[in-house]
Structure 1
């Protein structure tokens, strides 16, 4: 019984929920790492209509995701008027519960605005007044998957009430190929690729170039790979185009697919790749989740692999140094050999 002057502890609506909102705005790596948590939300609310609030770069990918029913992309409105319109729309939707997987200053402000009038929905996130407040002081040093697992625990979404270590809700991308009916554009042959091939991911955030292994090192690695009869395939966006040109100039047997792949094609190319080598960036996370073994390169002055390492079903070896300029091609090649996937 609740004592006078105290409110009852909030209870997750579970299977009785009719409408659920999940907030995940960016960035690509964080977005795909949250897919396991989204799946857990789907399983916790099997009868609910689940809406994902995100941003335009993830619209097409999210619309195909089996864990959500509807996608809204104005998660970062510009200006007070647009923000007020978003808050009003969320309020009118009358969600039973909102899962804030972004947990940023922006989404905290959304919570505050929703609570100014009326009866707000239950909220799972990092706000001290939220119904399900994830208040772990170490949350910023936790791996994204583990942090989301603990947030779900607080909200009452966990088998037996608790996620344990390796049973944290793992992201899964196995739905991509069947959802697209294994379309021709998902096949290596669509890009005139023959197996064996491997993926090189030389890019990183445009504003964090220190997270990029030197392009000349990628070129030397591509040469060693090609000498083993494996095609080095470079993937990335427009920002990686010049890097790819430099690699291909120094190793003509490499093939650049920069700007030519969408997110679905990154997944399916990774599924059939012999291995992948890449920086701490979103496509590297996608490749690992898709099932490719690989080498992830970390500049310790920029990011901590304990908090941000790719996780996948197959072996992911972390190569790190204070700066990536200190990480030699020999170091990375030794790790490639340790994967045990090179042709004899």
Structure 2
């Protein structure tokens, strides 16, 4: 096996949670070329992944995509994000080994299939790992152990601390007011209240950085306005030119707080302490969509489970949230 294509054209958070699988593949097969097919918006970020050699952007032109893939002469394709469209693109391409997960009826159109049903209590990132583990075992490669951190950008940390205006030994606490599709939104007033309490309860000086994307700028500005009359260091994150730069810059954070959203998962790549707000459901999204940060550095909060309560983030006790966050920060000082 000299050249392998992985299909993962999905959202940012889902792509991030595939990094452990990419790590396993590259660690086990360091001499193989690992390419990945991704959504166009993710391409620059995918190119930054140390376990990927080349990123192929989804142009939307299926015929052109199929022609390009055929010319690369891949030895194997691993369909980590399986849908009928991808089968149609790949079906007439001569790739010796094609592997897909065991879900959806069209799994039976692939010769090789692997279970991605991870155990209860595991994060969904395990599913992609199971696919890669099947591939490696099928070809006689040992399964590597996973690292504690997937993206080591520590040499750039001082640069990004300076970029975000860190002063002396203050802690940079990043807060993203937006949310992903699996969670409800935390109200600006609750986030402002939480920031105020954390600032009061934490022994270290704190600088709160509000990150945002697009329309989320209004949310960040509202939070800043709610705190304007308090002696708290709150600033809006300075815009960066690319997703790749933003992702790298999160190495500066001493903590990242958000709903279940792409930026929260990116912070997890740096093993930054994460605080996530998740919907209260029996499917336990706070476990399923856990970040890649070590378990001892993850805090999660949910409203009561139920159809009427599960997405109502105002039912979370933000006084308790603030205390737990402050306790964590004080212990790590």
TM-score by length of 2: 0.80
- In structure 1, the residue matched to 2:110 is 130
> Does the 8 A contact of 1:288 with 1:310 survive in 2?
yes
Unaligned runs of 5+ in 2: 102-106, 304-309
Residues 55-94 of structure 1 correspond to what in structure 2 (within 5 A)?
55-74=39-58, 77=60, 82-94=61-73
Q: From 170, 173, 189, give the equivalent of 2:151.
A: 173
Check if 1:341 corresponds to 2:330. yes
- Cα distance, 1:261 vs. partner? 7.1
The Cα offsets for residues 82-121 of structure 1, whole Å up to 9 and x where unpaired, read as 2122122222322100122222x2xx43234433x46433
Whole-Å Cα distance in 2 between the matches of residues 291 and 343 of structure 1? 14
> Does the 8 A contact of 2:274 with 2:293 survive in 1?
no
The Cα offsets for residues 133-185 of structure 1, whole Å up to 9 and x where unpaired, read as 1235669996322111211222125997567xxx55776111x455xxx397x
- Cα distance, 1:45 vs. partner? 3.0
Check if 1:120 corresponds to 2:83. no
Q: From 288, 291, 294, give the equivalent of 1:307.
A: 288
- In structure 1, the residue matched to 2:30 is 46
- Cα distance, 1:303 vs. partner? 6.6
Whole-Å Cα distance in 2 between the matches of residues 274 and 63 of structure 1? 25
Q: How many residues align?
A: 309
Q: From 174, 179, 185, give the equivalent of 1:199.
A: 174
> Does the 8 A contact of 2:44 with 2:244 survive in 1?
no
> Does the 8 A contact of 1:266 with 1:286 survive in 2?
no
- In structure 2, the residue matched to 1:7 is none
Unaligned runs of 5+ in 1: 1-16
- Cα distance, 1:340 vs. partner? 4.4
Identify if the C-alpha distance between structure 1 residues 295 and 64 changes in structure 2 by more than 3 Å, giving closer, same or farther: closer
> What is the SS of the residue equivalent to 2:254?
coil
Identify if the C-alpha distance between structure 1 residues 258 and 189 changes in structure 2 by more than 3 Å, giving closer, same or farther: closer
- Cα distance, 1:33 vs. partner? 1.3
- In structure 2, the residue matched to 1:217 is 190
> What is the SS of the residue equivalent to 1:339?
helix
- In structure 2, the residue matched to 1:291 is 271
- Cα distance, 1:30 vs. partner? 1.2
- In structure 2, the residue matched to 1:12 is none
- In structure 2, the residue matched to 1:154 is 134
